[in-house]
């Protein structure tokens, strides 16, 4: 999540902190999808 957040902050020229939080939230959301399908 940290690497993805730093990459997003570099790509979109945004602050690193919120980008890391957004990436972590996105990964958390993606991790919930397979459990809902079962």
DSSP structure string for 1-38:
-HHHHHHHHHHHT--HHHHHHHHHHHHHHHHHHHHHH-
pLDDT at 8: 87
User: Rounded to whole angstroms, what are the CA distances from 1 to 7, 22, 29, 36?
Assistant: 10, 9, 12, 22
pLDDT in tens, the chain (38 residues): 889 889 989 999 989 999 989 999 999 998 888 766 55
Distance (Å, whole) CA 16 – CA 36: 31
Q: What does pTM read for this prediction?
A: 0.71
pLDDT at 37: 58
pLDDT at 31: 87
Q: Where are the domains of the chain?
A: 2-37
- Which residue in this structure is represented by tokens 């890391």? 20
């Amino acid at each position: 999540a940290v690497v993805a957040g730093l990459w997003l902050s570099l790509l979109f020229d945004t602050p690193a902190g919120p980008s890391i939080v957004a990436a972590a939230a996105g990964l958390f959301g993606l991790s919930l999808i397979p459990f809902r399908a079962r």
